[in-house]
Structure 1
Amino acid sequence: MLKEKFGFIGGGKMAEALCKGIIRAGLSAGSNIIVSDVLAERCRLLKEEIGVQTTQDNHDIAAFADVIILAVKPQIIGEALENIKNDITPRHLIISIAAGIPLHFIESKLRENVRVIRVMPNTPCLIASSATAFAPGKHTTEGDKKLAHAIFNAVGKVFQLEEKYLDAVTGVSGSGPAYVYMFIEALSDGGVKMGLPREIATALAAQTALGAAKMVLETGQHPAQLKDAVTSPAGTTIEGVSKLEDGGLRAAVINAVEAAALKSKKLGELL
């Protein structure tokens, strides 16, 4: 268990997932986590369901926590930083999970030499299966990097990258779960169309996606090699693959990643 206390500014779905993931991984107890949100009802739910402390005052976050995680929408991060800038001391590490918001913007809104890390996680951190990338700020220490790695490694896979790659990460893994859920739903719909009960079709589709993903990660083989291993000459799979190609699956996914990455970049440019 880590000695640091954690504070979340913003109590949305990602903050909730991270809180649950951190507690489930044994990195911290709920009593060492505090979450702020503007909605009293949201605070009540988080306190009751997760066991964390809650507040509607961001100053309480800075007073309690050593690690402050900015989990607000990108459009209001400037306001949140303005609210706490005089509360930040050398003991604080700021971790931002706000999509598209560059390190230099966060650093410019706080006192000099504040330690900041920009992170792009995704919601499967709730079940310790997150895909996360982070970029350290100019005042970040090696200890800060190790701490960030420990936090996000406990809830999935984590990669340290240069900040210039984080918009692309947003397009792939930040938004990616939504694309995969859509694929699972479509695969299930296909099963229902062919007569399977919905529950069975969805379970088969989800387990298939899980198994295929594990094959990529655990074998180290290129996805194309694994696809070819399933695709027998004149068999059933090549018939399906042909239809996916007709439907433009590859182009649609590539375009989705590009659109999300460009949106992330634009959010930073609008500041």
Structure 2
Amino acid sequence: MASTAKIGFIGFGNMAQAIADGLLCKNVTAPSQIYACAANWEKLCRNAEQRGITPCRTAEETAEHSDIVVLAVKPYMIAEVTAPIKNILKDRIVISVAAGYPFEKYEEILLPGTHHLSTIPNTPVAVGEGIFICENRHSLTDDELNLVQELFSRIALMQFVETSQLSIAGTVSGCGPAFASMFMEALADAAVMHGLTRATAYSLAAQMIAGTGKLQLETGEHPGAMKDAVCSPGGTTIRGVAALERSGLRAAVIDAIDAVEGPVTQ
């Protein structure tokens, strides 16, 4: 059914567009299977035309056309947007990508028996290399869950976590691209300072990050062991590692997570 499932996006901002782009670039669905609505009709039409998908005037129209409805509006808009279409959503698979809206919140605003799953995706889904953090607690049937996994596992690592872990998992995967981009930019700045062109520096840094991540995923090797494998005794890499340690790289990364989540309390 995955090849024929119709997907409707209620809200078509950056995250919804990233998901749609991933589904299209990986040939998971055809453009004709994707519908979307948004507050700004002209902007929606432009974005829809670029992708060949169908723009809809209303959330009701989007939901009517869809097997899977992706709620992709701001969290404060969820209750208002879903209220007029509760009866339709009761017969659909509902996927939330709104941060801070776990299972219990949807149980309060959707009709009893609605099948829904809360997720937190990240923007690299646009190129089929993303992450979908998924709440362990959901109301999808086994067949519905299999369908969702069949679709979205083609564009992302799907990681199920407990409700209490949604925030931190979402921070690592959702804020991480910004942190990784800063590291990539810093590497490139240093490379440019030492004579590389900007384009070459960005290409090398980006592929290095992509390749290192893929290597860890495929081997399951501890990151420390991967680091050790590149550090020869007395070599250049270990000198760079030592410089990063002296500058507090690890502490800075941990502090960044603390700034988002708040410090760990005992």
Using structure 2 for the length normalisation, give the TM-score: 0.91
Between the aligned partners of 1:217 and 1:138, the Cα distance in structure 2 is 26
The residue type paired with residue 17 of structure 1 is: A
The residue type paired with residue 70 of structure 1 is: L
Residue 170 of structure 2: aligned partner:
170
Q: Are residue 61 (structure 1) and residue 93 (structure 2) matched? A: no
Matches within 5 A, 1:14-25: 14-25=15-26
The residue type paired with residue 3 of structure 2 is: L
Q: Are residue 135 (structure 1) and residue 135 (structure 2) matched? A: yes
Q: Structure 1, residues 99-126: CA drift from partner, whole Å, max 9, x if none? A: 1212111221111111110112111111
Q: Are residue 102 (structure 1) and residue 102 (structure 2) matched? A: yes
The residue type paired with residue 171 of structure 1 is: T
Aligned residues of 1:30 and 1:51 also touching (Cα < 8 A): yes
Aligned residues of 1:62 and 1:87 also touching (Cα < 8 A): yes
Q: Structure 1, residues 62-98: CA drift from partner, whole Å, max 9, x if none? A: 2111211011122322222224224333x21110011
Distance 1:145 1:259, change over 3 A: farther
Residue 9 of structure 2: aligned partner:
8
Aligned residues of 1:8 and 1:70 also touching (Cα < 8 A): yes
The residue type paired with residue 209 of structure 1 is: I
Distance 1:225 1:25, change over 3 A: same
Residue 84 of structure 1: aligned partner:
85
Q: Are residue 40 (structure 1) and residue 38 (structure 2) matched? A: no
Report the Cα offset of residue 196 of structure 1: 1.6
Residue 208 of structure 2: aligned partner:
208
Between the aligned partners of 2:262 and 2:150, the Cα distance in structure 1 is 29
Moved more, 136-145 or 223-232: 136-145
Aligned residues of 2:23 and 2:29 also touching (Cα < 8 A): yes
Between the aligned partners of 2:80 and 2:247, the Cα distance in structure 1 is 44
Q: Structure 1, residues 6-37: CA drift from partner, whole Å, max 9, x if none? A: 11011111111111212233332211211111
The residue type paired with residue 76 of structure 2 is: Q
Residue 75 of structure 1: aligned partner:
76
Aligned residues of 1:171 and 1:259 also touching (Cα < 8 A): no
Using structure 1 for the length normalisation, give the TM-score: 0.90
Unaligned stretches of 5+ residues in structure 1:
264-271
Unaligned stretches of 5+ residues in structure 2:
none
Between the aligned partners of 1:61 and 1:18, the Cα distance in structure 2 is 16
- Structure 1 stretches (4+) deviating beyond 3 angstroms? 258-263
Between the aligned partners of 1:87 and 1:145, the Cα distance in structure 2 is 19
The residue type paired with residue 183 of structure 2 is: F
Report the Cα offset of residue 138 of structure 1: 4.6
Between the aligned partners of 2:260 and 2:12, the Cα distance in structure 1 is 23
